[in-house]
Amino acid sequence: MQEFLTRLPQFIPHHLPLVAAFFVIILVLIGLEVSRKFRGYRELTPGALVQMINRGEPLVIDLSAIADHEKGHIAGSKHVVPSQFDPENKDLAKAKTLQVVTVCKNGMESGKAAKRLVKAGFANVATLAGGLDAWRRAELPLAKGRK
């Protein structure tokens, strides 16, 4: 460690692009973690979502395409087509105090929906990290068909 510290002042001026890239990467990582902390919703693992479902806590909203939903979805989830998802809907507004979990095929659409829910005043919002793809990888059961 002592040798590293004595050579560091020589290394920095000779490798400025590497040092700059290192600091940029560190700042980006810090920025991502800070934004994750303050985004207003959390990500759940498939196992954590199973525990919540077993306790009867969450309203699970599936934002998958209709064809994907029919191939497999979490039992008890409510299917909403992403283009028709409206957090201000009067039926959904009744759930503002409930735990709401958004899911989709890979987690991208559900993250957007979670942001919209938080913006609409929902207090307890989460997404399934990795979406239904992660659910399948965890070898958890899926319901088939429309319901």
For residue 147, pLDDT over 80 is answered with no
Residue 11 domain flag:
yes
Residue 105 domain flag:
yes
> pLDDT tens, 88-107?
887 777 788 889 999 999 88
58-62 and 78-79: which strand pairing? Answer: parallel
- Cα separation, 61 vs 100, in Å, equals 7
- Please give the tally of structural domains in the chain: 2
Residues of the domain holding 95: 42-137
Q: What is the pTM of this model?
A: 0.77
Among 118, 135, 138, 139, which residue's Cα sits nearest to residue 62?
135
Q: What is the CATH number of the domain that holds 109?
A: 3.40.250.10
Listed in sequence order, the residues at least 6 apart from 19 whose beta carbon sits closer than 8 Å to its beta carbon are 11, 12
Among 63, 67, 93, 95, which residue's Cα sits nearest to residue 79?
63
> pLDDT tens, 3-55?
888 988 899 999 999 999 999 999 999 998 888 778 889 999 999 999 999 99
